[in-house]
Structure 1
Amino acid sequence: MQNFYRKFLIIISGIFLPMLGFAQLDSLTYQVDMWGGAANQPYMPHWLVANRFGVLDYDHNRAGLLKAGLTSHFRVNKHFTIEAGLEGIARTTFSNTDNNLFLQQGYVKAKYGIFELSGGRIERTLGNHAEHISSGSMAISGNARPIPQIMISVPEYAKVPFTNGYVEFKGTFTHGWFAQDRRYIRNALLHEKSFYLKAGGKSKINVSAGIIHLVTWGGKLPNGKKLPMGFDNYVNVILAQSAVNIDSTDSFQIGEAANAVGDNLGVYDFAVHIKLKEYDINIYHQTPFEDWTGSRLARNKDRLLGINLSSKRKDHWFESIVYEFIYTKYQSGPTLPGGPDDIPGAKDKYGNDFGGRDNYYNNYLYKTGWAYNDHIIGTPLFYTKSRMKLYDPTFIDPDEKGFNFNIVNNRVVAHHFGIIGHYQNKWKYKVMATFSRNLGTYGGINGGITHWGSIENPDAPYAFKPAKNQNYFLTSIERRLFPHLTLHIAAGIDTGEIYNSTGLLAGLRWDFNRAREQVSQE
């Protein structure tokens, strides 16, 4: 599949690059960033790392970064545009063992009318949220590095025919490659699709509803055996159906035949958009689900609920303010995820139905979970095992000898605040504060995802028992020093019952945009 990806990009380049000879260059943007960071602990504060597209890791308590990129926009005609981007990063932690040079972005986008075809590594998010000051979408938050992918999309809302513009739609359909970035299954694939409808047109109140479907599937087991793939199984991935054409002697493939192919994650996404004279109000609600029990919206108590106020006034002291409430404690309840036929040795449900412990972002087979390069792809308020071991080297997940899940803290209740704005039209500032209560996982508190330790052995020690409070704070400022040079400073402070850390990032950005008029004059 990696060869297919390379061939596809060659074909796309072969189709679109010759068109550039007939296209007008609308703009060409250069950008170079130089950053340095340090913390008073072996790990950086949360918001100095999270939602920065994976360019820094939590264990980078001393780091330097050089990022250089360019973006070009071409116009073939009034309906057809092409965009290409390239961005590389050189990163050092001032040690001999952790210096990196990697491609952060490299892509081509071709847009004709409302449709867009893109391929490569592209920094993007998915889901309604206040992008620059949010805690992060439950689907794709911008916390991890871009995954190589091919996408067909309607990126902006487009009018539905015969509705006079009152109803609009947008959506994505994506195929991606996780490659070797897996703890257990190698060369796994990504399937993503989303679809949104918005009603209201030009009225002051618009309402939107969408659904996101994300699947990690395919790949190879450690013994070299392939998991269900091929066109028939790809169709079943799209339809969230069970696998076909399996090896009946392989227990993992039998499991794929009994369930929907791969590791499935869904998000219901709703929003109300209110347009006022000087402000816009956006109220959004995301509900994650992992299986059919969680997909019953009326019974699912977990959510990301946000309200975002944006100012239309250029001279206003703030651009955008957000409050978010994050609740992922329920996960279809504390009951076992399957019945006695599904979980050998399951003794008693203690008066409860089966079908709980959804275990967000984890999977028994795809043990990396919803993560890439050890950065969670969705909300960064969850913890991976490696991150938790930074804070507590003695941490042991009770499921480690069993399923060995990667996400060890996914039951979180949090309040998040963010604001971004300007001071005297010279300084741009951003402030964020997050107050979280962390309960680990159902598997952790029960001594295993299929056990009842919370009832049978309530005194057993567990890192998240009782629940741990943890707070994350960020203040950042930036100012234009010269027409093309900007100073950035960001300070983070984390306090709580899990860890404490204080850190600083500081850097310079040089950027230059050559508009079409400038290019034509040269």
Structure 2
Amino acid sequence: MFVRKQFSFKINDTPTIHSKSYNCVKKKIIVLHLFFQGLFFVSYNVFSQDSTQSNHNQQYVSLTGYGSTANTPFWMRTNQYATVPVTSGLMIRGGSKNLFPIAQTPHLKAGYGIDLVANMSANSQVILPELYGKVQFKKWEFYIGRKRETVGLCDTLLGSGSYIWSGNALPIPKIQLAIVDFLPLTFTKNLISFKGSYAHGWFGSGDFAYGYFLHQKSFYARIGKPSSQLKLYGGFNHQVQWGGKTYGDIGTVNNRTLPGSFRDYISVVTGFRNKGNSYFDSTNRIGNHLGTIDVGAEFEFRRMSLSVYRQSLFDDGSLARKEANNVADGLQGIVLTFLYPERKKGQFSLKKALFELLYTKSQGGSTFDFEGGIFGRDNYFNHQQYFDGWSYKQRIIGTPFITNYRDTNNSDDYNSNEIANNNRVVVYHFGFEGYYGAKLHFLSKLSYSLNYGTYGFPYESVPKQFSGLFQVDGQIGLWEGLEWNAAIALDQGQLYTNTFGGKIGIRKTWSGKK
């Protein structure tokens, strides 16, 4: 067992300022969405190929059993959109996706998606991680609802999870207009292309606040044609929690009301300051701003490709300052992909290997002094107004290595005053994907982390943690689309309860094209 050094801090009371109404903001927000509609995008995986050129429909049903010596191991439950039970149990899952042409043009399509999960365990529950409707025109897409996504430049299959939006939490309901695949600029002879989207979402009710919103946008560009051997990527994503009310009195909030007017929304979108409702608002920005600035490259050779990427973190303007004082923090990765793995009987063949380093220790240093111009102590995924932090339904939205106090070992010994009780971490992560023979597919994730707590509540010791997963799947020859899968996983260390677990499941998929 290890304990925290004792630190204390005080949030100063603020003078009363007349609070603003935000009841009429919704209609104006939609108008502003349309104005910005072509500018930004949410990245599912920047390295992915065009997925809009075929009409398809798919239905699926699956049955999976989970068992473990304690809680479900880390890599079996994280980055699964909060669908996997925390304890041993049975999961029944079913869903449908469809995309079909409308009117007389093949370019205009409509679609929907639904995914329903029923978990039977010590805490049985029914979850709806996906329910949306969409309209698509060529590479443009508008959708409303809840949809599984990740945000940022990274490998989504083998990686540790995108820093800002990893798929660890239940998807947030939102409306979004996006360019879903890279759109080439013809005047550059298709050498430069871009994606973009703009979204508004609803957090609903948390533990400390309710009725608050999500603002989300991003923009990514690619230099290089799809057939080029070298492609360069760059862009950013920007998320803001804003508006709403708090259940109780907070020193940084006046009259339990957070800024939510249309003027405040302009400040949310642009990142410019205004006086807001309190002294805290006037000396910071309206809402909780966070995101990443990403760069990457992809090199394709005759039989393999090499991808590298870097996500640089910002939290309430940390990278925008001239000092860029948290520049050491970020997620960097390298991925080697074998384009033509040999799948010979009785032999292993490697398809992909990945290494990532996640570093979040700096946070601009341990000191924050507004008057002195020292802007450290970024305190990732926590906030002094939105005490629920960067979470949704009690799950961290971003990388799962910034931990929720509910998940860590002996949580009474940890800081439970903030949602993210451990946001200064160093993580070494490996991922592998391949085949055994012609039919068996496998993947593995291996992670080792050093954990330092937070600047406000640091750990006296540095708990070390290993988490690993090995998963296999294959076809069952009885019917087309029938698959089996199995996995084992292990947590060993000081941060989580030591546990060993496994799962086994079966899935039937019906798919076709229209």
TM-score normalised according to structure 2 size: 0.83
Is the CA contact (8 Å cut-off) linking 1:416 and 1:432 kept in structure 2? yes
Q: For 1:305-454, list aligned pairs within 5 A.
A: 305-313=332-340, 315=342, 317-335=349-367, 337-339=368-370, 354-388=374-408, 391-397=409-415, 404-445=417-458
Rounded Cα–Cα distance in structure 2 between residues aligned with 1:161 and 1:111? 21
- Structure 1 residues 298 and 272, CA gap change in structure 2 (3 angstroms): farther
Q: 1:86 aligns with which of 106, 114, 129?
A: 114
User: Mean Cα displacement is larger for which, 261-270 or 73-82?
Assistant: 73-82
Distance 2:130 2:274 in 1: 33
Task: Verify the 8 A CA contact 1:27 1:515 in the aligned structure 2.
Answer: yes
Query: Residue 414 of structure 2 contacts residue 421 of structure 2 at CA under 8 Å; is this kept in 1?
Result: no
SS at 1:443 equivalent: coil
Q: Which of 213, 220, 225 in structure 2 is aligned with 1:189?
A: 213
Deviations 1:76-116 (A, max 9, x none): 323212221111111121x3xx2212322111121112321
Correspondences of 1:467-486 after superposition (within 5 Å): 467-482=462-477, 483-486=480-483
Note if contact 1:83-1:109 (Cα within 8 Å) is conserved in structure 2: yes
Q: How many residues align?
A: 448
Instruction: Choose which of 224, 231, 245 in structure 2 pairs with 1:200.
Output: 224
The answer as to 2:60 corresponding to 1:31 is yes
Residue-by-residue CA offset, 1:113-133 (whole Å, 9 max, x unaligned): 232111111001111111111
Of structures 1 and 2, the one scoring higher in RCO (CA 8 A, sep 6+) is 2
Pairing 1:138–2:179 present: no
Which SS does the other structure have where 2:457 is aligned? helix
Hey, which of these two has a bigger chunk of helix by percent?
Answer: 1
Q: TM-score, normalised by structure 1?
A: 0.82
- Which consecutive residues of structure 2, in runs of 5 or more, have no partner in the other structure? 1-22, 31-53, 249-254, 344-348
* Corresponding residue SS for 1:387: coil
Contact 1:420 1:429 in 2 (8 A): yes
Question: What is the DSSP-based 3-state SS (H/G/I as helix, E as strand, rest coil) of the residue aligned with 1:487?
Answer: strand
Aligned-pair CA distance for 1:430: 0.7
1:17-66 CA-to-partner distances (Å, cap 9, x unmatched) read: xxxxxxxx94321101111112112x221101111111025xx2212111
Deviation at 1:314, TM superposition (A): 5.4
- In 2: Cα distance, 1:160 partner to 1:370 partner: 35
Q: Distance in 2 between matches of 1:292 and 1:437?
A: 26
- 1:238 matches 2:250: no
Structure 2 residue 302 is matched with structure 1 residue 274: no
Aligned residue in 1 for 2:507: 509
Alpha carbons 1:35, 1:64 under 8 Å: kept: yes
- List per-residue Cα deviations over 1:267-296 (Å, max 9, x = no partner): 011101111112221100001111333445
Cα drift, residue 3 of structure 1: 13
Matches of 1:504 and 1:2, distance apart in 2: 50
Question: CA-to-partner distance for each residue in 1:295-347, whole Å, 9 max, x for gaps?
Answer: 45864100111001122215352332110011111110122x233x5xxxxxx
Q: Which residue of the other structure, out of 312, 318, 321, is the alignment partner of 1:293?
A: 318
Q: What is aligned with 1:112?
A: 137
CA distance in 1, matches of 2:136, 2:342: 34
In structure 2, the residue corresponding to 1:48 is in which secondary structure? helix
The yes-or-no answer on 1:103 pairing with 2:135 is no
Give the aligned residue type for 1:195: F
How high is the sequence identity, in percent, across the aligned residues?
28
| Matched letter for residue 465 of structure 2 | Q
Give the aligned partner of residue 259 of structure 1: 284
CA contact (8 A) 2:93 2:118 kept: yes
Gaps of 5+ in 1: 9-24, 248-252, 342-348, 446-463, 517-522
The structure 2 residue matched to 1:160, chosen from 173, 185, 199, is 185
RMSD value over aligned CA atoms?
2.2
Partner residue, 1:491 = 488
Equivalent residue letter for 1:240: G
Change (3 A) 1:267 1:121: same
Pick from 55, 62, 82 the counterpart of residue 83 of structure 2: 55
Pairwise CA distance, 1:166: 1.1
Q: Offset at 1:484? A: 2.5
Q: Does 1:44 align with 2:89?
A: no
